[in-house]
Amino acid sequence: MSAKVYVQAGVIAAVGVAIAVVDSTRRPVKTPEPMASPDRSVGGQGATNGTSSQGDPKPAPGEAPKAAPVPESTPPEKTGGQAGGGAGGASVKVAVADPSALPVKIGVGEALSMLEDHQAVFIDGRKADVFAAGHIPGAFHMQFVDITDGNAPWQEFFRTMNRDDWFVVYCDGGDCHESEHIRKALTNYGFSKVLILEVGFPGWKSAGLSVDTR
């Protein structure tokens, strides 16, 4: 291959990058504002913010905690007196007095508390088949691709959800990026109170908490 071909390739690349620089300054990619709380992990069980009594969270002013307004969802199952808690609910629950004090990535304990106290709407970002096989009770099913493609779950979410509500997103945990992508997309559209259940559904299930298949 002659040197001329390499020069041609270099010139074409340079033109493309030059256009890219212009375009990127013309319409910079909006990156979501970081949440007030630090982005640190609290691990699977969670061990923070356990100051208030369970079951009586104090909402922030003007922000009324309410049950997840998901039309198709069912209320959390009650097992042994622990709504949504299942067998291991009592041992892992970590009371959450003020969700805004939590880090972005929360553990099972905080998630359980927020579910039982109706402090957040849970969003399951996994594929439809695994969602149908089992999900956190009352979770709203919406994948990242639903947002990017304007699919029905995103339309319903946008129509029915309140930007002042708290949301907890989860996927398969570990290296799953769906939750982070959904959080960034939601933040981009003004739903800024979005937390991530870091261990995802596998962590929830392995903690022995109740699972809904409806």
Partner 1 sequence: MKKAEPLFLLVLRVAMAALLLFSAWVKLKPEVVGGEGVAPQPSGPFVFALAVSSYEILPSSLVPLATFAVPWVEVVVAVALLVGWWTRGAGLLAAVLLATFTAAVVSVILRGMNLSCGCFGKYKLLCDGSVGWCKVGENLVLLSMAWVLAGRGGGMLELRRSA
Q: Which two tokens stand for residue 22?
A: 């212009």
Neighbours of 165 (CB within 10 A): 18
The partner residues of 212 in beta bridges, in order of sequence, read: 135
- Options 79, 145, 202, 211; binder of partner 1; rule CB under 8 A: 145
8-state DSSP, 101:
G
C-beta closer to partner 1: residue 22 or 81: 22
Window 2 to 31, contacts with partner 1 (CB under 8 A): 2, 4-13, 15-17, 19-21, 23-24, 27-31
**What is the Cα–Cα distance from 178 to 169, expressed in whole angstroms?**
9
Residue of 40, 163, 177, 214 interacting with partner 1 (CB under 8 A): 177
Question: What is the distance between the alpha carbons of residues 103 and 37, in angstroms, rounded to a whole number?
Answer: 5
Q: Please say which residue, 49 or 143, places its beta carbon nearer to partner 1.
A: 143
Single out the segment in contact with partner 1 by CB under 8 A; choices: 70-78, 80-88, 145-153, 205-213: 145-153
Q: Does 185 interact with partner 1 (rule: CB under 8 A)?
A: yes
State the DSSP string of 32-46.
PPPPSS-----TTT-
Question: Which of 82, 179 has the CB closer to partner 1?
Answer: 179
Residue 121: beta bridge partners?
167
CB of 9 to partner 1, least distance (A): 4
Residue 180 interacting with partner 1 (CB under 8 A): yes
Contacting partner 1 (CB under 8 A), which of 51, 74, 155, 206?
A: 155
Q: Are 45 and 113 in contact (CB under 8 A)?
A: no
CA distances from 46 to 23, 96, 158, 162 (A): 43, 11, 30, 27
Dist. CA 96–CA 187, nearest whole Å = 22
61 binds partner 1 (CB under 8 A): no
Write out the binding residues for partner 1, residues 68-107 only, by CB under 8 A: none
Residues that bind partner 1 (CB under 8 A): 1-2, 4-13, 15-17, 19-21, 23-24, 27-31, 145, 147-150, 154-155, 157-159, 172, 174-177, 180-181, 184-185, 188-189
